[in-house]
Structure 1
Amino acid sequence: MLIISTLATLLIAIATLLPLSKETHWVVRSMDFPRLQIAVISAIILTYNLIFLDMNMSITWLLVFTAFFCLAWQLWWVLPYTFLWPKEVKTSKLDNANKELSIMTSNVLKTNHNSDALIDLVSSNKPDILVTLESDEWWENKLKVLESDMPYTVKCPLDNLYGMHVFSRLPFTEETISYLVESDIPSIHLSLELRTGHKVRMHFVHPAPPSPTENTESTERDAELITIARSLEKTTQPVIVTGDLNDVAWSKTTRLFRKISGLLDPRVGRGMFNTFHVDYFFLRWPLDHLFHSAHFTVKSIQRLSSIGSDHFALFTVLVYEVAEKTSQDGLSTQPQDHIEASIISNKKGVDKSEVPSPSE
C-alpha cells in the first residue's frame, strides 16, 4: 500500500508542479487543463493515506502533506469558477430588452453534420449573434436558412478545422478577417451596433491548441490571445471577445489575457460551464469563452444541449449597463505582466497594431 500511495502521490505532484514552469511544450501546458480532476484525485489519495498508512512513519506525513498541497493548490485555481466565489460580474436587474445582447458560441465540429440540431438551438434561444467554429462550406450552405432572421454575416469557410462564421440580427460595420499569427488560422473583428445605438468592439477567435497533432508548443495560441489583449488595454470602448480559445479559464495565459485586456469573466462566481468534451463527462473543461468590458452586466449564461459536436454551445445574455461600470473589477495587473505580455507577442513577431480596431 505504501508503494502504491508513493507512486500515486508522486504523479499528482508532477502534474501539479509542471504548469509552474514557463515551458510551452504541449505536455507541460496540457497540465493546465485537468486541475479539477487532479484536485479530486488528490483528495482521494489524501484520504487513502490518512486511513490506510501508518501515521507513525515520517514518509506517511510527507505523502499526506504532498497530497494536501496538491489538493489546495489545484483548488486555488478552480474555486473562482464555483458558487463559493464572489461574482466578478454583477447580475443584471434591469428589465430592458433593448439593452440586452445575446451571443451563442458553437464549435460545430467540421465532421459533424447534424446542422438541424444547431438550427433548432438558434430557433429556440434566438441569439442576437451566432459564431460558429470549425464551420466549412458544407456548414455555410446548411446555415443559410438563418440569414432571413440574421442577415448580417461574416463568412470564412475553411477545411482545416478553423473555419469561422458570424451571423447577426444586429447591424455591424468594419468587419475584418485577420490571420494574426498563423496564415491559416483566422479571427474576425467588427463593430456591432446595439439596439440602443451604442457600438461594441467584437473579436471572435479560435487559435490552434498546443497538441501532438497540431502545434507542439502553446507559443502560437498564447501570442494570438495576448496580442489581442494588448490591443485592448487602453480602449474605453465596450468590448467583447468570444470563441474557442483552446485554453481553460484558469490557465496562466488566460489570466494574463484578462489582466492585460481588463476584460471580465462572467463565469467567476457562477460556474465552470465546461463545454468540452461532450462525450467524456469526467474529462471536461471550459474551452469556449466570453469575456467583456465592464460596460456589461450578466443576465444569464447557459451551456446548451449537444448538437453532435465534441463541444457544447455556450449561450450568454449580457446587458449594457454603463452605470455599473465603476463597480466591476477584474484581475489586477502588475508591471511584470506587461513585460511578459510583450515577450509572448514578440516570440511570434506580431504587434498589437495588427489587431483590427473598429473606430469608436
Structure 2
Amino acid sequence: MKAKLWGEWFFGGGLILLSLSHWFPFGINFLELLGAFAHATCILSLIIAVVSAFMRLWPLAGSSLLAFAVSGLLILPHLSTPEMSGNSDFSVGQFNVYHNNPIPQDAIATIAQNAPDVFTIQELNSEWQTTIDSRFLKTHPYRIEEYWDNCCYGIGVYSKYPITHSRLLDLEKLPAIECTINVNGKDVNLLSLHTFPPAFPNQTEARNLQLKQAEQIISAMNNPLLVIGDLNLVSWDRTLTQFLQRQELNSARDGFMATYPMDLGFPLIPIDHMLYKGPIAPTRCETFDIPGSDHKGLVASFAFKE
C-alpha cells in the first residue's frame, strides 16, 4: 500500500515538475523543446486527473490537477479569440512552402487561390521560379527574392502594391527581408524572417541571436510595422513573449492556430507568426493547407486606424 502511495506521489510530482519546466526551462534546450508541447501536458494531466479520481487515487488526482492548472495557465492567454471586425485595407500572408515540396505547382496554385495583397514565401527554391512567375508576375509585380538552393532558407516577398524601399539582411548568415510597401498612399513597413529550428543547443542560440539582431532592425523601423515569418517559437515561449514585450508587438492570431508540422495531416504547434504594431489592427486571421508543405499557410487582413 505504501509503495502504491509513493508511486502516485512520484508520478504526480513528475507531472508537476514537467508543467513547471514549461514556465522555467532554465535555458536547457531539451526543456525548451518540451515546452512547445505544454498544451499536450495540459491535456494529459487532465485525463490522468479524471481517471485517477474515478479510481480514487487521490494523491495522483490532486497532483495531476495541479499540473493541469500550471500548464493551462501558461497557454490560456494564447487561446483567446480577439474581436476582429470591420473593413480591411490590405491583407498579408506567411507561407512556408517547404524546400523539398514534392508538388510545388499545387502548393503555389493554392497560394494563388488564397493570395493576399502582400505575402512572403519561405524555404524558397529557385526551381519554382517559372511557376511563381506564371502565377504572380501580373498580380504581384513587386517583389524581393533570395533563393537558397542548398537547404531551406530561401525567402521572397511579393506585393500588389509598390515596394518603395527594400533591403536584404543577414541574420546569423540566413537571409531576411526588410521593406516598405505603399498601400494606397500609406506606408507599411515589413520584416520577413525565418529563424533556425531549436533542434540542438547551438541552433537555439543562433535563433535567439537572430531575434536580437531583428530587434535592432525593428527599433529603427517606422510604424505601422509587420514582422512575419516562421520563427520556430510557439506563442507561449518566453523568448517570444519577451521579444514581443520589448518591441511592443502584438500577434494577429485567432485562438491557437497551430501551423506545424503537417506530417500527420494536422498541425500540433503554432510557430508561424504575424506580428504587428502601430496604427493598424487585424480584421481577420486564418490558416489553410498548403499541398506538400509541412506548414499551414497563415493569412491576416488589417485596417488602418484613423
For 1:150, which of 116, 136, 140 is the aligned residue? Answer: 140
Question: Is the Cα contact below 8 Å between 2:93 and 2:115 reproduced in 1?
Answer: no
- Could you tell me which residue of structure 2 aligns to residue 192 of structure 1? 181
Question: Is the Cα contact below 8 Å between 1:104 and 1:129 reproduced in 2?
Answer: yes
Q: Deviations over 1:107-137 (max 9, x none)?
A: 1111113222233223322311121111121
Output aligned runs, 1:279-298, within 5 Å.
279-280=263-264, 284-298=268-282
Whole-angstrom distance in 2 between the partners of 1:244 and 1:211 = 15
- Could you tell me which residue of structure 1 aligns to residue 85 of structure 2? 92
Alpha-carbon offset, residue 6 of structure 1: 5.1
Residue 18 (structure 1) aligned with residue 21 (structure 2):
yes
Residue 171 (structure 1) aligned with residue 162 (structure 2):
yes
Residue 41 (structure 1) aligned with residue 29 (structure 2):
no
Whole-angstrom distance in 1 between the partners of 2:274 and 2:57 = 48
* Secondary structure, counterpart of 2:27 in structure 1: coil
Output aligned runs, 1:245-284, within 5 Å.
245-267=231-253, 270-280=254-264, 284=268
In structure 2, the CA distance between the partners of 1:69 and 1:223, relative to structure 1 (3 Å rule), is farther
Q: Deviations over 1:75-120 (max 9, x none)?
A: 11222233xx462xx52323xx6xx221121111111132222332
Output aligned runs, 1:122-137, within 5 Å.
122-137=111-126
In structure 2, the CA distance between the partners of 1:304 and 1:149, relative to structure 1 (3 Å rule), is same
In structure 2, the CA distance between the partners of 1:280 and 1:160, relative to structure 1 (3 Å rule), is same
Whole-angstrom distance in 1 between the partners of 2:240 and 2:296 = 20
Number of matched pairs: 301
* Secondary structure, counterpart of 1:167 in structure 2: strand
Output aligned runs, 1:65-80, within 5 Å.
65-80=62-77
Whole-angstrom distance in 2 between the partners of 1:53 and 1:282 = 35
Higher mean displacement: 152-161 or 217-226: 217-226
Q: Deviations over 1:198-226 (max 9, x none)?
A: 111100010101104xx545222122224
Alpha-carbon offset, residue 25 of structure 1: 3.8
| Matched residue type, 2:84 | T
| Matched residue type, 2:110 | L
- Could you tell me which residue of structure 2 aligns to residue 334 of structure 1? none
| Matched residue type, 1:316 | A
| Matched residue type, 2:249 | L
In structure 2, the CA distance between the partners of 1:199 and 1:22, relative to structure 1 (3 Å rule), is same
Output aligned runs, 1:206-245, within 5 Å.
206-212=194-200, 216-233=202-219, 237-245=223-231
Question: Is the Cα contact below 8 Å between 1:243 and 1:289 reproduced in 2?
Answer: yes
Whole-angstrom distance in 2 between the partners of 1:123 and 1:283 = 22
| Matched residue type, 2:52 | N
Residue 113 (structure 1) aligned with residue 102 (structure 2):
yes
Question: Is the Cα contact below 8 Å between 1:140 and 1:157 reproduced in 2?
Answer: no
Question: Is the Cα contact below 8 Å between 1:264 and 1:292 reproduced in 2?
Answer: yes
Question: Is the Cα contact below 8 Å between 1:107 and 1:311 reproduced in 2?
Answer: yes
In structure 2, the CA distance between the partners of 1:18 and 1:118, relative to structure 1 (3 Å rule), is same
Provide the identity percentage.
21
For 1:304, which of 288, 293, 305 is the aligned residue? Answer: 288
Whole-angstrom distance in 1 between the partners of 2:294 and 2:137 = 25
Give the gaps of 5 or more residues in structure 2: none
| Matched residue type, 2:140 | M
